[in-house]
Structure 1
Amino acid sequence: MRRLVLLALLVLPGCFYPADRGRALEAKVDRLGADSAQMQAELKEAREQLAATLPKIDQKIGEVTKALDGLDTASRRKDADIGIQFQKTVEDLAQLRGQVETYLHKITELETALGAQDQKLLALQGAAAVKEAEAKKKAEELQRPADKNEFLALAREKAKAGDVLVARQLFGEFLKKWAKDPLVGEAHYGLGETYFSESKCREALFEYGKVVQDHPKSPAAPDAYLRSSECFAQLKMKDESRLALEELVKGYPKSAAAKSAKERIAELDKAKAAPPKKGARK
């Protein structure tokens, strides 16, 4: 039962917005997202129309060239017939060029509007969202290892170097690409560490909770309990912090993390048994 209580606490969501404000913000973000999706669809359609029109222009240019080349050899045909055919080809070409200009203008307008919409969306989501978007772009530029172990190593390397936002993108990508792999527990732990390094304890607790709940046999599970205890302590949740240590010692008694947990429990017991300082409230 105590373990279940701990796990319930570990997956607490990290939302800090009041309910009404949060719903209003989400609704506005959803509207902007829907508008962006519509513009993306229109942009795609315009590009497809342009791609379909360009070959027709090439074809018409070829017809005009052929018509010009054939003027000298068309002595058997009436000049009027040749003129009509030539004029029609030129008019078709002009019409196609007009369509291209229309598509190009529409594409430019849509790309400009979409860029402005994305900026609004990022501004609405805050500075953190802007940084996340920049990190995502930076992560996309990295060469991805095909091997899962090397991929995970790359994410850890970025985290160790202090590039936590890029590391977060990579850990998240790993979780999507190898969702059922035994290494998922370690990826969740690595993701939790990126939040822990920024003192985002609620977000970190969620990831540590995924390790101990869904991947208890992962090599990262003992450390996830230990980190959870630290997070609970930072959140002034003393009972939960101690409980995480006790669950660690109970579930992984031979691990190095359990040794650290025993030392911390001993320190807590010593502090609890120490007489209160003079003048302190009882």
Structure 2
Amino acid sequence: MRFAYPLLSRLRPVALVAAALLGSLNLAHAGLFEDDEARRAILELRTQRTQDTDALNAKIAALTAQVDQLKRSLLDMNAQMEQLRTEQARQRGSEEVLVRDVTELQRKQKDVQGAFDERVRKLEPQSVTQDGKTFKVDPEEKRLFDDALARLRAADFAGGAAGLNGLMARYPATGYKESVLYWLGNAQYGLRDYKESISAFKQLLDRAPDHARAPEALLSIANCFGELKDMDSSRKALELLIKQYPQTEAAQAARDRLLTMPAPVSEKKRKAHN
């Protein structure tokens, strides 16, 4: 036992050293294990980051492609819009030209229609009222009558008479006939052609004894006979005027004229005989 105890005593330090060495080996092994795990973790992290970076780059590339596509689309759209604006401007210009052309065409059409209507109006018979009588006349017929009267009012008796005779020759059935005869009688009176004047007035009375100018025609006949120094015929015309148209101004003028006229030759002879 004494021999064993010292041996144990000598072996204890060796065991302690061995245990210490074993512990150090375990610690070293544990450290090596931890480094491997760390490296693996770092490698995995690097791998993950690489993958994430690649994915991000892929997304960025995709987004960049989409942005480029969008830019191209916008450029195309802008080009189309510019083309559309150009086309619209051209169409507006065309529309303005068209509106201008249509307006001008409408104006010309209106002028043509107006000219046509004027020509038709000049050709169509129109209603006139002359000396209380209403009738239809051609525009040229009316023009001839108005022109003849204008000449008479200007004391152009020859021109007036020629115009009235021309009217009668061109329009023998004219509704102006009675008025033409009356004014023709006045024209002949102005020309001192009293017999022709009496003839025109008598034609009026024979044709239309109820005409508005009939009383004046009888008074003018009396004047013509007076100019011819045929006072008996003049008196008879005045007396007939008073008898047939007693309420007219011409009849009153006839009464006044009779008061100043000398007695008829037959009356003078009768008084002389008595």
TM-score bracket, shorter-length normalisation: 0.3 to 0.5
In proportion to residue count, which structure has more helix? Answer: 2
Structure possessing the higher radius of gyration over alpha carbons? 2
Report the TM-score when normalising by structure 1.
Answer: 0.42
